[in-house]
Structure 1
C-alpha cells in the first residue's frame, strides 16, 4: 500500500505520514498520555476508545477466555520484550526439527507461516506494485492497438490495460518526484544536524538542547529554534528520531523507483512457486519475522502488547489473547494468492479474528481472496481491514480486499476501518484516510499511535494500518469476555456501539468541511466501553443452557 505524504516537517520536506520515535528497551511503562487511543473522551479530553475505563469499570469481575488473533502483515519481531509472552505457539509443532509434526502442510510453523519465503530460507522484501505487474503482463498484448481491433472476448482485459497503464504512469511520475525531493533534503538535514552537534558539543539534539542552544552564533540559534518548533509540532523527542524516519523514507522511495516500478523486476523467483496458481498452498517458510518486521510488530503491539509485564505499552486486548504471525505483505503490493492462503492458514490453525492492515487498487485474482473471506465466514472468523491511506472515497475508487463481494454484497464477517486523530475538531479525521458512506464501517484512532517496534523498541506510527488493529483489539476483548459472540455479533456490536458525532471535519485530502457522519456507514468512532456495555446486554438477554 502506498503511504501518503505530508508537507512541513522541519519546514523543509515531505515525509511518509508514519512518524517514528524510538527508545531503548526494555523500558518502564509508557505514560498514559502516550497511548491516547486507550483513553476516554470525557475523562481525558482525547478521542480514545475508553479501553482503560472498560477494564476498570466493567471487566474486573468477568473471566477472560483464550482468543487467537492472526496478524497478516510484513512480519513480527518474535523476540520483542512486550510481545514474546503473547505470541501464539503451535503446541503440536516441534521447533526446528524440519518435520511437519502436526501435518497441517507447513514445516516448523511454530509462530505462524511466511508466504513470502523460499524453501532455502531466503525472503522477498521488496515487491513490485500490482499495476506494475499487470502493466508488464498486458503491455505486449495491447499496446498500440485500438479497442475495435481487439476480439470482443478480450476487450474487458484491454480496458483493464488502459486503466493499469494510466495508474502506472501516474505512480511512476509521483514516486520519482518524491524521491528527487527527499534525497537532497535528507542529505541536507543530515549535514545540518552533524554541524549542530559538533558546534554545540552534544551527541543528541533533543528539544531541550534545541530550545536553548549554548552558542553565540545567531544563525545557528535560528536553525536550532526552527528545529525545536517543528519537533514540538510533530511531537518528536529529538532530531535523531526524525533523521531515522527521513532515512526510512529515502530508502523506501529508492526501493520504489528502483524495484517496485520496474516491470522487469521479479523477486518471486525467491519463493519458487507459480504466483498465478491460487490453488497451490504448499510454499513459503517458517520465518515469520522476515527482513523488515516494523509494520507488523507495531500492529501486533496495538492489538495485544503484554498488559501484565510492567513494561512499555499496553495492547487493547490482554489476558489470554494471543497473536499469530502470518507474513504475506512485502514492501510493495501483496499478491492475491498470498492473501487468500494467509487467511486460510489463519482460519485452519485456530484464529478467531484476523487483522489485515494492507491494501491495493488492482486485484487480478480477486475471486481467490473472496473465496477465502467466505471460508473464514463459514468458520466464524471476523476479518478487520484498513481502509487505506490515499484520501480516496472508496465508493469512487475501488480498494482491495474490497468491503463487498464481486456481486456487490457486503461481507458479513469483514469490518473496514478509517483513521481518526485525537482531537474533537475539524481535524478529527486523519487527512490521509480513505472514507466512504458505504465501504467504510467505522473510524478508530490511527494518528500518532504509540506501540511496539523491532528490537524491543517503541514509537509512533500513523495510518489506517494502526486504526484496524485498534478495532481488532476491541473484537478480541469482546470475544475473550463473551466467548459466545459470533463473527457477525462482533461486527454488529462494534458498529452499533460506536459513538456518532456530527462534527464538521475536513474531508481527507481537501480543505472542504463535511459532516463526519457522511464519511462512513455508521458515522461513528469505535469505543470499547460502549461495546462491552452492549455485549453485556446481549449476554444478559441470551437464555443460558
Structure 2
C-alpha cells in the first residue's frame, strides 16, 4: 500500500472539528469584521537539508556537507530505482534526472535491448497491460486472502483441515480476523469523516464572512478579536485543528478532510471489497505464479503519480536550476521508475519482479516506500532481496505509518529473512520531525529496537508534485527517500563503497538523540534512542566524513 497518514489525520481532523462545529450556526449570523491583510508565502522550506549542529534543526546536514566537504569533489553516475506508484516524467525538476535506457529506441514497439520489456526507456510498469490500461485501485492483501480462503475453506474447521493445507488455513484465519476488524473500523471512520465534511465546509464559509477575509490562515485567525463568544470559541477551535494537522489555512484543512473522504470511500469500495479484482481484467496474468516475469507496459505515469513523483524529487530533483527544490543527490545521479504500487496493497509478485528489473538494469540503490500487513508470497520477495545482495544493491524501505512496534506487529517486506537472520543490504527507516523535542518521532511512524534501523526526516517534506508543482507530504514514505538520497550521495562521490558499506556508514553516522519523545500511538514518553537500532537520525554530513575515511 502506498504509505500515507492521510486517513488518520482526516479522522483526527473530524474529531477535532466536533466542538468547533457546534458554533457554526452562530457564526452565520455575525456581521463581517474588517479585512485581514493577506498572509505571506506559506510554502515550506526544505528543513530536512539543514544541519543539527549549525542550524539547530534535526535535518540530515546536506547543505553543510555540500558546502564544506563535497564542493571540490567530482560525483560519478549512480542509478536509484524508485519502486512506487508512478512518476510525472515531464516534471521540470525531474525530467533531466530520469534514467535513460540507451539500449532502447523510444516508441518503436520493439524490445531493442532484448531484456524482455518493450520500450522501457525510463523504467517499467508492472501494473499495466499491453493495451495501455493500468491498475489503479487494488484490494488489501488481507482482502485477497479472505476472498480466496472463504471459497477454499468453506465448511472446514481447524479439526478437519488437511495437514498439507494447515499453514494456508492458519493464514486465512488470521486474515479473516484482521479483515473483520478493519472493515468495522473503516466503516465507522468513513461515516465520521463524511458527516464532518459538509458542516466544516459551511463553517469555514461562515467564518470567512464573519471575519471579512477570503483566507483563514493562522495570521487572520490570531489577529481576529471577535466580541461574540461563539465566534471566539470557533476561531480558537479552528486554530487548534490547524496546529494539530499542520494545515496552513482553513482551505488546506478542508482539502485534507475531503481527501480523507475520498480515501475512505476507496477503502470500502475497493481495498476491502471481496469481489473487486481489477487485475484479472487488465493484466490478465496469474498473480500466484511468481515465475512470470514479463508482463506490464512502459507507462510510468499511471493513473496517479503523486506519491512516486514526490519520492523521486526528494532523492534527486535537479539541484542547479534554481527551481522548486534541491534533491539530495547530485547530477549525474539518475532516477529509474518501476511502477508496482497501486492504491491498495502491492502484490509480492510485482515487488519481486520490480527489484529484479531494477537490479538487472543497473540500479545500485532501490527505494521502497510501501508496505503491508500480510505477505503470502514472502519467499519470492526475499529471493529478490538475495539477488540484489549478490549484485551489490542497497535496498531502502519505509518502516510504515501505523505507529506500531515492529517487534510485535507485522509489516512487509520484513526487516529480517524468514529464518530471522539480518538482511545485510536492507535499511528500514522510520520518520522524524523538524524539532528536537517531544515530537521528534513522527506520531504516525512505526518503530522497533530490532526492526527499524534508523529514523530520517518525514514530516512536512517539501518536494516535487505532478504538473511541475511542489508541496508538502508526510510519512515514512518520505523518510525512506531521504535515506536513499543520502546513500546515493555516498555512492556517487565514493563509488567503491558496497551496499553493506553504505548501510554500515549510514547507521554508524546517525545522529543519536536522547530526547524524551512521545511513543507513536501512545501517551508514553521514552528516550528517542530506544525506538530504533541506531537510536539516531540520518546524518549526511557525518556519513560523508565516514565515507571519506573508508575510501582512503
TM-score (norm 1): 0.91
Cα deviation code 1:193-230 (max 9, x no counterpart)? 33445666655444444444699977556545543454
Q: Is the 8 A contact 2:13 2:257 kept in 1?
A: no
- Which of the numbers 309, 315, 324 marks the counterpart of 1:303? 315
- Which of the numbers 32, 35, 49 marks the counterpart of 2:60? 49
SS of the counterpart of 1:169?
A: helix
Q: Which residue of 1 aligns with 2:17?
A: 12
**Structure 1 residue 3, shift from structure 2 partner:** 4.5
Q: Which residue of 2 aligns with 1:491?
A: 503
Matched, 1:534 2:546: yes
Q: Is the 8 A contact 2:441 2:517 kept in 1?
A: yes
Write the distance in 1 (CA, Å) between the matches of 2:227 and 2:168: 67
Q: Which residue of 2 aligns with 1:453?
A: 465
SS of the counterpart of 1:371?
A: helix
Distance 1:95 1:221, change over 3 A: farther
Write the distance in 2 (CA, Å) between the matches of 1:326 and 1:246: 30
Write the distance in 2 (CA, Å) between the matches of 1:365 and 1:76: 27
Q: Which residue of 1 aligns with 2:99?
A: 88
Structure 1 residues not aligned, in runs of 5+: 15-28, 541-545
Q: Which residue of 2 aligns with 1:350?
A: 362
Q: Which residue of 1 aligns with 2:36?
A: none
Distance 1:370 1:233, change over 3 A: closer
Write the distance in 1 (CA, Å) between the matches of 2:112 and 2:292: 21
Q: Which residue of 1 aligns with 2:238?
A: 227
**Structure 1 residue 144, shift from structure 2 partner:** 4.6
Q: Which residue of 1 aligns with 2:336?
A: 324
Q: Which residue of 1 aligns with 2:379?
A: 367
RMSD of aligned alpha carbons:
2.2
- Which of the numbers 273, 281, 296 marks the counterpart of 2:285? 273
Write the distance in 1 (CA, Å) between the matches of 2:142 and 2:426: 25
Q: Is the 8 A contact 2:186 2:264 kept in 1?
A: yes
Write the distance in 2 (CA, Å) between the matches of 1:393 and 1:228: 32
SS of the counterpart of 1:450?
A: strand
Matched, 1:156 2:167: yes
1:144-543 correspondence to structure 2 within 5 Å: 144-197=155-208, 203-212=214-223, 219=230, 223-224=234-235, 226-232=237-243, 234-268=245-279, 269-540=281-552
Distance 1:216 1:437, change over 3 A: closer
Task: Judge which range, 100-109 or 327-336, deviates more.
Answer: 100-109
TM-score (norm 2): 0.90
SS of the counterpart of 1:458?
A: strand
Write the distance in 1 (CA, Å) between the matches of 2:353 and 2:288: 13
Q: Is the 8 A contact 1:3 1:390 kept in 2?
A: no
Q: Which residue of 2 aligns with 1:20?
A: none
Q: Is the 8 A contact 1:30 1:313 kept in 2?
A: no
Q: Which residue of 2 aligns with 1:26?
A: none
**Structure 1 residue 323, shift from structure 2 partner:** 0.7
SS of the counterpart of 1:42?
A: coil
**Structure 1 residue 501, shift from structure 2 partner:** 2.2
Write the distance in 2 (CA, Å) between the matches of 1:232 and 1:511: 18
Q: Which residue of 2 aligns with 1:23?
A: none
Distance 1:215 1:499, change over 3 A: closer
SS of the counterpart of 1:344?
A: helix
1:68-83 correspondence to structure 2 within 5 Å: 68-83=79-94
Aligned residues: 525
1:124-163 correspondence to structure 2 within 5 Å: 124-163=135-174
Structure 2 residues not aligned, in runs of 5+: 20-40
Q: Is the 8 A contact 2:494 2:551 kept in 1?
A: yes
Write the distance in 2 (CA, Å) between the matches of 1:30 and 1:286: 37
**Structure 1 residue 242, shift from structure 2 partner:** 2.2
Distance 1:340 1:332, change over 3 A: same
**Structure 1 residue 372, shift from structure 2 partner:** 0.8
Q: Which residue of 2 aligns with 1:18?
A: none
Q: Is the 8 A contact 2:17 2:237 kept in 1?
A: no
